[in-house]
């Protein structure tokens, strides 16, 4: 089973948004095409979130904003015990949460 996460490229001006907007923030266009989020980038910032929903089985989530090499900035879970700003990471897809017997997949980053 393969999983991908997609950003959305405006068909009018090429602006890439993630998550998807209803209207392009740059040109107000309303038609988009999916663009797979993949590859490597650099950590812009990260934080550990301790105030989680009660059904999380982890103590905290480490989240990062990563600037991918194509210039897109995306948020995802950072799987790194020694994070630092500027560190090179690779985008991947994995289980970010298990709830009521269902696996929820999302964007994750691992050291490149
Ligand atoms: Zn646009």
- The C-alpha atoms of residue 39 and residue 42 are separated, in whole angstroms, by 11
| Residue 26 lies in domain | 1-36
Q: Taking Cα atoms as reference points, which of 1, 3, 34 lies closest to residue 107? A: 3
The model carries a pTM of 0.81
Q: Ligand 1 center to residue 92 CA distance, Å?
A: 27
Residue 5 shares a structural domain with residue 45: no
Distance 10 CA to ligand 1 centre (A): 5
Spacing, Cα 103 to ligand 1 middle (Å): 34
- pLDDT tens digits for 13-55? 999 888 888 999 999 999 999 988 888 999 999 999 999 888 7
Question: What's the CATH code of the domain at 90?
Answer: 2.40.50.840
The alpha carbon of 31 and the centre of ligand 1 are apart by a number of angstroms equal to: 8
Q: Structure tokens of 31?
A: 């038609």
Question: pLDDT, tens digit, for every residue of 58-94?
Answer: 889 999 999 999 888 899 999 999 999 999 999 999 9
Q: How many domains does the chain have?
A: 2
């Amino acid at each position: 089973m393969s999983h991908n996460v997609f950003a959305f490229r405006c068909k009018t001006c090429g602006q890439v948004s993630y998550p998807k907007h209803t209207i392009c923030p740059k040109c107000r266009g309303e038609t988009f095409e999916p663009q797979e989020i993949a590859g490597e980038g650099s950590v812009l910032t990260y934080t550990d979130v301790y105030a989680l929903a009660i059904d999380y089985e982890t103590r905290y989530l480490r989240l990062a904003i990563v600037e991918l090499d194509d210039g897109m900035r995306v948020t995802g879970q950072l799987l790194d015990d020694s994070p630092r700003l500027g560190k090179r990471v690779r985008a991947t897809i994995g289980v970010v949460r298990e709830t009521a017997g269902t696996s929820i997949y999302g964007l994750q980053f691992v050291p490149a």
